[in-house]
Structure 1
Amino acid sequence: MKIRPLRDRVVVRREEEETTTSGGIVLPGSATEKPNQGVIVAVGDGAYLDNGEKRPLGVGVGDKVIFGKYADSNTVKVDGEELIILSEVDIYAVLES
């Protein structure tokens, strides 16, 4: 099944959780925080401005992004994979290498 976000929304695959600290301590699943970084897997077609024009999104598929810590309220499962649907304004930054 494919997912296609609407308007200014994006679908993000969250990065894997860190299970070991820098000191080598292994953390149980309940003690780890969900990462606030991920990779965009789908984007909408753009946001509509007040004058009716469509503005394309500033991010694209494959971009690694940082988003809000509590963004998982819009979590969906597609083919057994947990994905997050965010509005473009919920993305804080794009990580560039």
Structure 2
Amino acid sequence: MNIKPLADRVVVKMVEAEETTKSGIILAGSAKEKPQVAEIIAVGPGGLVDGKEVKMYLSAGQKVLLSKYAGTEVKIDGVEYTILRQSDVLAVVE
């Protein structure tokens, strides 16, 4: 199944949280933080949103930094994705 976001929406897949710290300590599942880095899977076409022209400047394949609880989580074919507005993306990770 393919996901095609509408307007200024972006579909992302969260990058897995680190299971060990830099010093080598293995973290329990409850000690891991919710990941904030995601990979963009699909980008909407932009266009008029709330009467304003929105240009999409993100593209599929980029890694981005998100707000902690931004977007709507969906599960398709056993894979979890998050759909959010382009404005909920805080930064591009290079």
How does the TM-score come out when normalised to structure 1? 0.87
- Cα distance in 2, alignment partners of residues 84 and 9 from structure 1: 10
Q: Matched residue of 2:39: which SS?
A: strand
Structure 2 equivalent of residue 33 of structure 1: 33
- Cα distance in 2, alignment partners of residues 3 and 92 from structure 1: 22
1:39 Cα deviation after fit: 0.7
Structure 2 equivalent of residue 94 of structure 1: 92
1:43 Cα deviation after fit: 0.7
The unaligned stretches of length 5 or more in structure 2 are: none
Q: Taking every aligned residue pair, what percent have the same amino acid on both sides?
A: 47
Q: Deviations over 1:5-49 (max 9, x none)?
A: 110000001101111111211111111011101110011110316
The unaligned stretches of length 5 or more in structure 1 are: none
- Cα distance in 2, alignment partners of residues 31 and 17 from structure 1: 10
The answer to whether structure 1 residue 9 and structure 2 residue 30 are counterparts is: no
- Cα distance in 2, alignment partners of residues 55 and 33 from structure 1: 32
How does the TM-score come out when normalised to structure 2? 0.89
Counterpart amino acid of residue 80 in structure 2: E
Q: Cα RMSD between the aligned structures?
A: 1.5
Q: How many residues align?
A: 93
